Amino acid sequence: MIDLKLSDDEKFLQESVRDVGAKEFPLDEGIRAGIDGRKPFDEARWQRLAGLGWFGICVPEAQGGIGLGLTHEMLVFNELGKVAASGPLVGTALGAYVAARAKSDEIAAALIAGQRKAGILVGDLVVDAGVGDLALRVTSEGTELLEITEATPVVSVDEALAVNRVTGTTSLVHITDDDIPSRLRVLVGAYLVGLAETTVEMSADYAKTREQFGKPIGSFQAVKHRCSEMVTRAYTAKAQLAVGAVLANLAATEGIAGSGLLEVASGYLLAMDAAQQNADDNIQNHGGIGFTAEHPAGIFVKRTQVYRHLGGKMSDLIQIALVSPETSAA
Amino acid sequence: MDLLTDPTITAFREEARTWLEENKPTEARPHDDQAAREFDRAWQHKQYEGGWAGVAWPEEFGGRGLAPLQQMIWYEEMVRAGAPSTGSFTVALGHAGPTIMANGTKEQQALYLDRIISGDTPWCQGFSEPGSGSDLASLRTRAVIDGDELVVNGQKIWTSYAHIADFQELLVRTDPEAPKHKGITWVVMAMDTPGLTVRPIQTIDGNAHFCECFYDDVRIPLANVVGGLNNGWRTAMSTLSFERGMGYLQSRLTIINEVDKLIEEARQRKLLENDRIAYELAHIRAQAVTVHALGYDGVAATSQPELMSSVNQIFNGELSKSLARIAIEIQGDDGLERTEWNGRYLGSFPATIAGGSKDIQKNILGERVLGLPR
Ligand SMILES: Cc1cc2nc3c(=O)[nH]c(=O)nc-3n(C[C@H](O)[C@H](O)[C@H](O)COP(=O)(O)OP(=O)(O)OC[C@H]3O[C@@H](n4cnc5c(N)ncnc54)[C@H](O)[C@@H]3O)c2cc1C
């Protein structure tokens, strides 16, 4: 049996991230990026986030982190997804954790303090990191933290995030701990669930106020049911990912190998689907306005098209979902 | 039901194929809309000179006066040749032209139709408003008669190609007291009329093909009213059913070319060995082929028009979106970079919104075709 009720400190963390997230990441930023192009990376904001400890949530206190569990970190990234926060958030937080595991305390400290940042490598593409930054490569064989020495920008599918093609790296840290892919999927999945949740809210709000044929469009079953399907997707993905986070955390705290592998991959697969299908339905619910660059609906479409690639290779996910046993939660 | 082997039909197809081989533009349609306008005009004009513009338009209006069957064959050959579609002439050829043919006076027909078919004047469709999309009949853009003119005030939105069109088919409210369908007028507006402001709107795929139109005491001659004052709803509906039926056929048929390109991409990525992807592509190709059948069905025109047009709208809309969704699965992690395929995905959402959303089409099927209670 798994208790999914938030503890007081989990609740407190969630609320504080929610407040800061809304202030630091107004949706307008994503809209402006789509229309005018991306602004230079906001270093001052990155420092403020680092100051809140968000990049060291799971790093032990002795190594400069906050020493909380994966469920806490999941809540942080869920809130960041809700506001479609930009920047190499997952890579930096997980990178710090990986460095700490490898006892590379200096690198961990630099990431936690916001002095360095780490993007996630997908093939040879990296998101929101360039030359001089770090890149995290997570595979089923092992996890590597690299320094980027050579990279060229490519046109990103999401204008608010920078994508670079990496052509040169130096390896800094390498570990083979097999729970890292699950931790990555929890964080990316939580962000995707956050995206999916905000689209539910946007659609429901709009369906209550937009009138056609003399009624709010939410009174038409087509729209009402679409909104209901959206909330079902987000809700189920969130529950499954939470179970996964609880179990995957046991790999670190109790040394239970493979704990939560299937549960996390399942939550992640649901989260990918929820984010993508909800982003699509959200535009449908908005009609013409949802397709314009001046409306935030498009941000959720594009952000999903980046984040759905960050949680590891599809073939790995499929393999886990097909054959991994359920983790005993007795 | 039978295969048509009439030699005149075969000969027509041969003739079309040869002409297209020799005359289709070899350069791509420009991305810039002003340049695209000139490209569309030149291509339409070339078809006109060659006798291929308006295959099914009556001869008296400059067309070839052939049956919808030949029109369909012409479209098939256009798609086969990979020739550009109607682009900024879609409204002119697809709705404005047919509306004027069906409802216009001799003078109006003489004034507008020749300049459409010869590739001179692109048109746009000023129907939707910020407050009136699905419920089009609630439109509020107001027109007051002053002497022999209409004075228009209000706003339209989502007007595709308004910034490069020469004329607009415009729906205005001329009788605010009448029931909502009875106080609307269909009128032709020249896009250089004083008082009109056009502002392109950027979309999530980075394009800006549609616009807002603001009308500030825009004066339009009463002589531009087509189909009679306060009769605009009926006039407009004659175009809309065309738009939803045969009107989009050419662009709908082109999907097979995209499907084949995607299958080739999947082959190169060795993904056809994956049964799920292979099945999805097979299913998509089956649907793309069915677009043909629906075209023949449109030519036969034996079904209730609402059934035909709404089924087409839903089927083609979902097909176009499925293709884009499968494309992003096939390109996988390469999709972090903006590619032709994820650009196609970002641009796919209007397929179930524009021209009457899929929800509205389903209401039509349920209520007007199947007789379900409202
Ligand atoms: C790319 C593009 C090009 C366009 N080009 C043109 C053009 O050239 N000229 C022009 O005049 N218009 C054009 N349109 C506008 C288009 O016709 C409208 O967007 C469409 O009719 C929907 O209206 P709306 O955007 O106001 O959405 P709304 O009508 O507000 O609909 C919002 C949501 O509510 C749903 N809904 C509304 N009523 C009902 C109901 N009764 N039952 C169930 N669901 C309902 C809709 O399906 C939709 O999901 C274009 C739109 C797009 C996206």
Chain A residue with Cα closest to B209? A292
Name the residue among B204, B210, B337 with its Cβ closest to that of A163: B337
What pLDDT, in 10s, does the model give residues A37-86?
Answer: 999 999 999 999 999 999 999 999 999 999 999 999 999 999 999 999 99
Q: 3-class DSSP state for residue B73?
A: helix
- Token pair for A241: 């990912």
Which residue pairs from B191-197 have beta carbons closer than 8 angstroms and sit at least 24 positions apart in sequence?
Answer: B191/B124, B191/B162, B191/B165, B191/B166, B191/B167, B192/B166, B193/B218, B193/B219, B193/B220, B194/B218, B194/B219, B195/B152, B195/B219
B58 vs B55: CA distance, rounded Å:
8
Report the chain A residue with the minimal C-alpha distance to residue B332: A309
Please indicate, yes or no, whether the overall pTM of this predicted structure exceeds 0.95.
yes
Residues of A in contact with B332 (CB under 8 A): 309, 314
Average pLDDT over residues A134-160: 97
The whole-angstrom separation of Cα B301 and Cα B323 is 28
The percentage of residues in chain B with a pLDDT greater than 90, rounded to a whole number, is: 87
Could you tell me the end-to-end alpha-carbon distance of chain B, in angstroms, rounded to an integer?
36
Residue B134's pLDDT band (cuts 50, 70, 90) = very high
The domains of chain A are located at 180-329
How far is residue A94's CA from residue A177's CA, in Å, rounded to a whole number? Answer: 13
Please give the torsion angle defined by the CA atoms of residues A134, A15, A160 and A90, in that order, rounded to the nearest 10 degrees: 20
Given an 8 Å threshold on Cβ–Cβ distance, is B202 in contact with A293?
A: yes
Please indicate whether residue B244 or residue A267 has the higher confidence score (pLDDT): A267
Name the minimum distance, in Å, from the CA of B86 to any CA of chain A: 22
Please give the distance, rounded to the nearest whole angstrom, from the Cα atom of residue B236 to the centre of ligand 1. 16
Confidence category of residue B161, pLDDT binned at 50, 70, 90: very high
Backbone torsions φ then ψ of A123, nearest 5 degrees: 60, -125
Measured CA to CA, the distance from residue A207 to residue A226 in angstroms comes to 11
Predicted local confidence at residue A95, as pLDDT: 98
Q: How far is B289 from chain A (nearest CA, A)?
A: 26
**Which protein residue has the closest C-alpha to ligand 1 atom 2?**
B354
Give me the percent of chain B exceeding a pLDDT of 70.
Answer: 98
Q: Are A70 and A183 in contact (CB under 8 A)?
A: yes
ipTM value: 0.95
Q: Which of A125, A163, A212 sits opposite B135 (nearest CB)?
A: A212
Q: Max CA-CA distance within chain A?
A: 64
d(CA A46, CA A113): 9
Quick check: A139 and A181 in contact, CB under 8 A? Answer: yes
CA-nearest of A164, A165, A172 to A146 is: A172
Q: Hey, is A298 helix, strand or coil?
A: helix
Among protein residues, the one with the nearest Cα to ligand 1's atom 26 is B133
pLDDT at A222: 98
For chain A, say whether B316 makes contact (Cβ under 8 Å).
no
Task: Name the closest-CA residue to atom 7, ligand 1.
Answer: B159
User: What is the per-residue pLDDT across B213-225, written as a single tens digit (0 to 9) for each?
Assistant: 999 999 999 999 9
Which residues, in sequence order, are CB contacts of B68 under 8 Å at separation 6+? B56, B246, B298, B299, B301
Judge whether A135 and A146 are in contact, CB under 8 Å.
yes
Question: Tell me: the pLDDT tens digits for A111-125?
Answer: 999 999 999 999 999
B310 vs B307: CA distance, rounded Å? 6
How many CB pairs lie under 8 A apart between chains A and B? Answer: 104
d(CA B317, CA B294): 14
Query: Ligand 1, closest atom to CA B130?
Result: 26
Q: Angle A70-82/A221-253 helices, nearest 10 degrees?
A: 150
Domain A180-329 grouped into CATH 3.40.50.620: no
Tell me, yes or no, if A296 comes closer than 8 A to chain B by beta carbon. no
The model's pLDDT over B354-369, given as tens digits with 9 standing for 90+, comes to: 999 999 999 999 999 9
A163 touching B (Cβ < 8 Å):
yes
Q: For B271-302, give one letter per residue: b (16+ CB within 10 A) or e.
A: bbeeeebeebbeebbebbeebbebbebbbeee
Residues of chain A in contact with residue B160, where contact means CB-CB under 8 angstroms, are none
Reported as a pLDDT band with limits 50, 70 and 90, residue B47 is very high
Q: Min CA distance, B203 vs chain A (Å)?
A: 4
Both tokens of B28, joined, read 């791509």
B243 is an active site residue: yes
A314–B353 C-beta distance less than 8 A? no
Q: What confidence score (pLDDT) does residue A329 get? A: 67
Pairing of strands A118-122, A125-127: antiparallel
- Residue pair A122/B333 in contact (Cβ under 8 Å)? The answer is yes
Confidence of residue B299 (pLDDT cuts 50, 70, 90): confident
Instruction: Determine the Cα–Cα distance for residues B47 and B41; give it in Å rounded to an integer.
Output: 10
- Of chain A residues 9-68, which have a CB less than 8 A from chain B? 34-35
The C-alpha of A306 sits at a distance from chain B's nearest C-alpha, in angstroms, of: 6
- Domains of chain B with bracketed CATH: 2-85 (no CATH), 123-231 (2.40.110.10), 245-368 (1.20.140.10)
Q: Which residues pair with A121 in a beta bridge?
A: A126
pLDDT tens string B316-334: 999 999 999 999 999 999 9
* pLDDT band for position A1 (cuts 50, 70, 90): confident
